[in-house]
Amino acid sequence: MSRRCELTGKGVLVGHHVSHANNKTKRVYRPNLQIVSLASDALGHDVRLKISMNALRSIDRSGGFDTFLLKCKDEVLSNRALKLKRQIAKKRAAA
């Protein structure tokens, strides 16, 4: 799997490490990715996703996994997350 958050699309960034003598060498900024289990109220089971800890804070702030996923834009979501979003929207429309 790539080093990309499945919910926010946050990925690896490239920059320079600058020394005191102003020498610049390439370096990589990696996102803080963790594999977590998130409880979906609409689906009724847990979902394991590889997400950044920044996304986890956003999920907590927005009031849960289902509401956060429904608010997300489709362009930044992974294929798995997009499929989950459609399933959650379908369950909510049926209820």
pLDDT value at residue 1: 53
Contact by Cβ (8 Å): 10, 2: no
pTM of the model: 0.84
CATH of span 13-94: 2.30.170.40
Taking only the tens place, the pLDDT of each residue in 12-44 is: 999 999 999 999 999 999 999 999 999 999 999
Distance CA 57, CA 53 (A): 6
- Domain range summary for the chain, segments of one domain joined by +: 13-94
Contact by Cβ (8 Å): 55, 49: no
Placement of tokens 């020498």 in the chain = 23
Contact by Cβ (8 Å): 8, 82: no
Distance CA 6, CA 89 (A): 18
